[in-house]
Amino acid sequence: MQDRSAGDTAKVSHGRKRRMMGMRRRWIITSVFPVITILMLIAALSSVVLVASYYSNARFALENKARAGASYFNTYAMANYSEYYRNAVLYAGNFDEADTIELQFLDRNGRVEISSRGQTVGITPETPEVRRALDTGRMDSFTGRDPLTRENILAVSAPLEYDGGVVGALRLVTSTRELDKQVALLAVAVMGLAAVISGVVLCVNLVFMRRIAAPVAEVTEAAKRISDGSYGIQIPNKYEDEMGQLVDNINQMSLQISRSEKMQTEFISSVSHELRTPLTAINGWGETLLADDGGDIQQLRRGVRIILRESRRLTNMVEELLEFSKIEDGRFTLRVEQMDLQAEVEDAIYTYRELFRQDGIDLEYLNAGEMFERPITGDPERLKQVLCNVLDNAAKHGGSGKRITVSMEQEGEYYTVRVRDYGPGIPEAELPYVKQKFYKGSSKARGSGIGLAVCDEIIHRHEGTFDIGNAPGGGCVVTIRLPISREEE
């Protein structure tokens, strides 16, 4: 047994872990991954934008320098070639950014005539911006690998004009090695920051899912146990949020199912006993009367009276079961019409008065002689069933008081019928449950436990109320309120 219990516990634990892993996986795939993917895409896009901005700013600065130099030469230093050459040599020699930028003066064919570094004099650059500037007369730029040096460069060429024609170009060239490093570091920093944020998001979600998945797995396991028949089990509630409310609801559901299951079991047992008891009495008295050869009239009367009483009890019980069955499967209907409620009340009293008198119970009608003329819309047979059931219950549970009173009065647009007994009443703890199906409480009286549930359903379908409580001074009082028909009806 211990091995089996340990095996069951291991299976439960394994199932719970598997459900938790499944929940985490679904949460990560459906919620966390999209967030991380979007975050990484934003980081990549930001890196691209920043890289483009860095290169654009560098190109813009270099273009401004080239534009200023070309403007100076085109305006002041192009009177003749010798003056241009002398000024170009001086300009290149005094170029203050020669450490990072090379200044070149190119002739009409694109060959370097003068350079701030000297090594490139006589070389013809093969970058495309040189030819475009010489051919179009407009400044142009190039970013990429230099075909001659195989180095990444940024170059700007501005045309030099003389007498309305392009005679050469001023070219600024700089290596982008340091810029590439800065851009790479910036991109790595942005992506690293995105990765850190993604990691934080993932960790937070894993912690969150652990706090959610574990309770959900526990609640799921408890719900599975309830569905397997372990009614009444309770989940320890350690939560103060929506999960706590869910646990409370499941615990309440478990108790309700357990209570209903217990009541249903008791109902089956009770009905079996209740059916057997009158059948035994009927069978016993039938055999006794058949075996009586002396013709004792008193014994005959007594036996027939018992047989009739037990037959009536059987009939009432079977009718209750049939009505309850109709309510449960939706076949319960009303045949409503304009009816006299007072007539039904008085008819029920007339029916039961003599029966109660034989048992020593006085049935009083407190409204004798008073007339209630306005009709109600209802089913006479169903309402009479309710009145008879209430009177029968009053005698059964409160008959020890030897008195039952019935009253009827008009309260606004409702008729109110009250049936009171003078017995021990109903324990306060049982009052909320007396109208529930199968409920019998602590009463030792015979019955199926569904009569009041049927009565409550009938009155509810008449848009009325059916209340049961303890009366001041002792005993139980049943209050039935039914709406009066409108005048135009």
Q: What is the pLDDT of residues 194-248, one digit of tens each?
A: 888 888 888 887 777 777 767 777 777 777 777 777 777 777 777 777 777 877 8
pLDDT at position 1 is 43
Q: Of 56-70, 177-191, 252-266, 318-332, where does mean pLDDT reach its minimum?
A: 318-332
- Tokens representing 202? 């993932």
* Domain made up of 333-483: CATH architecture: 2-Layer Sandwich (3.30)
> Where exactly are the structural domains of the chain?
2-53+181-227, 85-178, 242-327, 333-483
At 258, the pLDDT band (50, 70, 90 cuts) reads confident
**What percentage of the chain carries pLDDT values higher than 90?**
26
Enter the tokens of residue 134: 């010489």
Q: What is the pLDDT of residue 215?
A: 72
Per-residue pLDDT, averaged over 268-286, amounts to 72
At residue 188, the pLDDT reads 86
pLDDT, average across residues 381-400: 87
Cβ atoms of 406 and 394 within 8 Å: the answer is no
pLDDT in tens, 328-350: 666 777 888 999 999 999 999 98
> Which range has highest mean pLDDT (3-7, 127-131, 366-370)?
127-131
Q: Which of 17-31, 68-82, 363-377, 382-396 has the lowest mean pLDDT?
A: 17-31
Instruction: Determine the pLDDT at residue 459.
Output: 93
Would you state the pLDDT for residue 438? Answer: 65
Q: Give the C-alpha separation, 218 to 442, whole Å.
A: 36
Band of the pLDDT at 8, cuts 50, 70, 90? very low
What average pLDDT score do residues 276-286 get? 78
> How is domain 85-178 classified at the CATH fold level?
Beta-Lactamase (3.30.450)
**Which residues make Cβ contacts (< 8 Å) with residue 210, sequence separation at least 6?**
20, 24
Interval 377-387: pLDDT, tens: 999 988 988 89
Fold that domain 242-327 belongs to in CATH: Helix Hairpins (1.10.287)
In which band, very low, low, confident or very high, does the pLDDT at 450 lie, cut at 50, 70 and 90? confident
Of all residues in the chain, the percent with pLDDT exceeding 70 is: 86
Residue 276 pLDDT greater than 80, yes or no: no
Kindly state the greatest CA–CA separation across the chain. Answer: 166
Task: Please give the pLDDT value at position 6.
Answer: 47
At 17 the pLDDT is 54
Q: Is the pLDDT at 351 greater than 50, yes or no?
A: yes
